[in-house]
């Protein structure tokens, strides 16, 4: 089952969602790449950073969501120096070898994405760079409270086949990328996002992880689910004097292919 994205909802916390991209990019030490690809570029707010980092490169943003690609193309200040195309990363093929391939907060939406790593590395030129970032917070209340509600007999019949985000611990990505013959740098970071406004964590969640669930539920049940999910998150993340703290763990991996080596 597929779901549609709402760029405006996703961008409500653009600064918080963007910081991991910058931290990931800081460990990519490509000097003068010719071709750079942002695979899963979303609304293009971060893809433009690649063009500014490497102004001499051809930069391409790829996303499977028509809504996200349209938002990226429609924002002239973000589209400058970047070409955006629609494409599914499971079947996407570049026109030629890529010097820097970045996939930020995307692979968690692809079931079995570990099996795609050889193909993704296969698109990278010898000596080129592959960088990924995925959420690692799936054991936190923002996800576990949703799963509890999804199992409720009122909602469960409507959610069969709905795929939520999934990712792995850093050690898993380390071993897979090492086995593909790369030099690898893997780490994790827990950000403490200070969110403002009422029901801030609920609004964060409905922009990403909870979106497939909500879209699969019919109108009245969706409102019922939202109300209960909102209350559950309000209890799990009580607002403080300065806002609501959302701890968010993320997993990063940067791999450089050896010159002349192709993954097995």
Taking the C-alpha atoms of residue 139 and residue 141, their distance in angstroms, rounded to an integer, is 7
Output the pLDDT for position 7.
Answer: 44
Output the pLDDT for position 127.
Answer: 97
The pLDDT tens digits of the residues spanning 81-108 come to 799 999 999 999 999 999 999 999 999 9
18: which residues sit within 8 A by CB, 6+ positions away? Answer: 45, 46
The pLDDT tens digits of the residues spanning 141-187 come to 999 999 999 999 999 999 998 988 999 999 999 999 999 999 999 99
Taking the C-alpha atoms of residue 237 and residue 233, their distance in angstroms, rounded to an integer, is 6
Output the pLDDT for position 263.
Answer: 47
Output the pLDDT for position 232.
Answer: 97
Which tokens in the block code for residue 123? 């698109």
Output the pLDDT for position 261.
Answer: 52
- The domains found in the chain, sorted by start residue, are 7-257 (3.40.50.150)
Taking the C-alpha atoms of residue 120 and residue 255, their distance in angstroms, rounded to an integer, is 11
Helix (H, G, I), strand (E, B), or coil: what is residue 7?
helix
140: which residues sit within 8 A by CB, 6+ positions away? Answer: 247, 248, 249
Q: Which residues of the chain have pLDDT under 70?
A: 1-14, 75-80, 261-264
């Amino acid at each position: 089952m597929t779901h549609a994205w709402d760029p405006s909802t996703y961008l409500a916390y653009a600064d918080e969602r963007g910081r991991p991209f910058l931290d990931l990019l800081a460990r990519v030490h490509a000097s003068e790449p010719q071709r750079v690809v942002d695979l899963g570029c979303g609304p293009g707010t971060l893809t433009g950073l690649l063009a500014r980092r490497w102004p001499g490169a051809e930069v391409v943003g790829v996303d499977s969501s028509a809504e996200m690609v349209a938002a990226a193309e429609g924002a002239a200040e973000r589209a400058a120096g970047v070409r955006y195309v629609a494409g599914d990363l499971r079947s996407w093929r570049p026109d030629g070898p890529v010097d820097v391939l970045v996939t930020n907060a995307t692979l968690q939406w692809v079931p079995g994405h570990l099996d795609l790593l050889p193909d993704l590395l296969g698109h990278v030129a010898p000596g080129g760079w592959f960088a990924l970032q995925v959420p690692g917070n799936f054991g936190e209340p923002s996800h576990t409270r949703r799963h509890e509600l999804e199992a409720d007999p009122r909602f469960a019949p409507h959610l069969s086949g709905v795929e939520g985000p999934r990712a792995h611990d850093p050690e898993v990505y380390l071993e897979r990328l090492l086995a593909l013959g790369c030099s690898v740098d893997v780490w994790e970071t827990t950000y403490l996002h200070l969110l403002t406004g009422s029901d801030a964590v609920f609004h964060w969640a409905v922009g990403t992880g909870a979106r497939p669930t909500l879209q699969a539920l019919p109108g009245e049940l969706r409102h019922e689910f939202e109300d209960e999910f909102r209350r559950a998150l309000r209890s799990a993340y009580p607002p403080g004097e300065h806002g609501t703290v959302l701890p968010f763990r993320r997993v990063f991996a940067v791999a450089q292919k050896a010159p002349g080596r192709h993954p097995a």
